[in-house]
Amino acid sequence: MPTPDTLPHGGDAPVPRTVVRGAHLIDAHGDHGLHDLWLRDGRIEGLDLDGAAELEVDASGLLVTPAFIDPHVHLRVPGQEEKEDLASGLGAAVAGGYATVISMANTDPVVDDPAIVRALREGAARLGLARLRPAAALSVGLRGERLADYAALRAAGAVMITDDGIPVADSHLQRRACEYARELGLVIQTHSEDPTLRSDGVMHEGRVSQALGLPGNPAEAESIMVFRDCEIARMTGARVHIAHVSSERGLRVVEWFKEQGTNVTCEVTPHHLTLTDAAWERFDPVFKVAPPLREASDVEALRDGARRAVVDCIGTDHAPHTRAEKDRDALAAPFGLPNIEVAFPLLYTELVLSGELELATLLGLLQGGPARVMGWPEPTLEPGASADVVLLDLERERPVEPATFTSKARFSPWEGRLLRGWPQATLVAGRMAFRRASGAPG
């Protein structure tokens, strides 16, 4: 059995030596201008080399940069393949410019068994789309009672421990999980919402929820739990990552702990950066997410946090469901929306083109940010780095068309929105994993 680090991505066939011509190269070290980027054996070979390429990719007019890392996706495997499967979810990831994703453990059965972790990694490696690094459950069956076997799960390839989807109500269990994970070097990710305070809320509690008569979930349900989780991180010294911070108060708590030197990181999602609770006006459960879409002041605070590096990275929380599930009423419909295919164009258009965020900052939140959270090497275009590269078209405007999604969840809160910055191709470990059809509308 291959060990976690030696599974060949995309099978055993030789990786073609590839040249990406006329590329405008940008990475964490800066803007390198126009070059030919050479890839060999799954690694970056160098710039402007000579010799024969087995594959030529024309990148004229495109920005070429390390492909993205998503610390937070739901692939629904095993057990909920009607929502998403490995091919559709990892296909959606590369279509969104991601080379590596971390999948959540709230599946059926739950990812609390090393065999499931192994099956996920092997299945993903065979596909050769985005690279999959599974997270495993914090508690057996996500029941919040007993710790899962972290050492065995790590040995099978799990890189993160989380009960995401279900907040850990028991503070004692959270403490023990952090203590145990620390010595194994695993990242603990938390879905920080106080389950008793969020109660039966389906949207943010505020003026809009009171007017619409929908049960609310106050921002304090988040900030209280963020505080607890940061406090336990400080207490235990564990590497704790706060998932999908959605509120100004929640983010302030994280910032306060960072100022104290606590080793805590956090992510924000594309939807919390771009949508507010006002979206509920038409009672469309597409906008039902956990934590909920907040108010304009929260969106502003999250954007400000992204600018000031209080936010460490973007995590999409891509959470596919079937259309039929989202066509239920506001109380019965499930939480979550698909977004990994539109994440970069959305954030580029709404934040960078609007002048609110530097392109380099956004790229950092998608590349070096998540890598640092996970303790992985920073993705760059330097020779020897993994040949995970995305080609972005920053010019051409194209509407969000859910019908063309690779994800099985073919609906979107941004349907019809005109965006720029669409990934044209994504290479993972030197192989072409995604290439936008040339006849694509736009």
Per CB under 8 A, residues contacting another protein are 206-207, 210-215, 280, 282-284, 324-325, 327-332
Q: Which of 27, 317, 388, 393 is catalytic?
A: 317
Best CA proximity match to 207, nearest among 296, 140, 282: 296
Best CA proximity match to 413, nearest among 332, 331, 316, 311: 316
Q: Clarify whether 317 is annotated catalytic.
A: yes
Q: Copy the structure tokens of residue 403.
A: 């019908």
Q: How far is CA 204 from CA 191, 223, 418, in A?
A: 16, 13, 27
Q: How far is the CB of 200 from another protein (least distance, A)?
A: 10
Neighbouring-strand partners of residue 23: 35
Residues in the chain, total: 442
Q: How far is CA 331 from CA 201, 202, 228, 412, in A?
A: 9, 7, 28, 19
- How is residue 25 annotated by DSSP? E
Neighbouring-strand partners of residue 188: 161, 240
For residue 42, report the phi and psi dihedrals to the nearest 5 degrees: 80, 5
Q: Alpha-carbon distance 199 to 364, whole Å?
A: 36
CB–CB of 371/312 below 8 Å?
no
Q: Alpha-carbon distance 53 to 36, whole Å?
A: 11
Q: Copy the structure tokens of residue 266.
A: 């956090």
The DSSP bridge pattern shows strands 240-242 and 187-190 to be parallel
DSSP of 381-437: -STTSB--EEEEESS--EE--GGG-SSS----TTTT-EE--EEEEEEETTEEEEE--
CB contact set of 277 (below 8 Å; sequence gap of 6+): 203, 204, 206, 208, 209, 292, 293, 294, 295
CB–CB of 286/326 below 8 Å?
yes
Residue keyed to tokens 């090393």: 114
Q: Alpha-carbon distance 177 to 186, whole Å?
A: 10
Q: Considering just the CA atoms, what is the radius of gyration of the chain in Å?
A: 21
Handedness of CA 437, 438, 441, 442 (dihedral sign): positive
* Residue numbers annotated as active site: 317
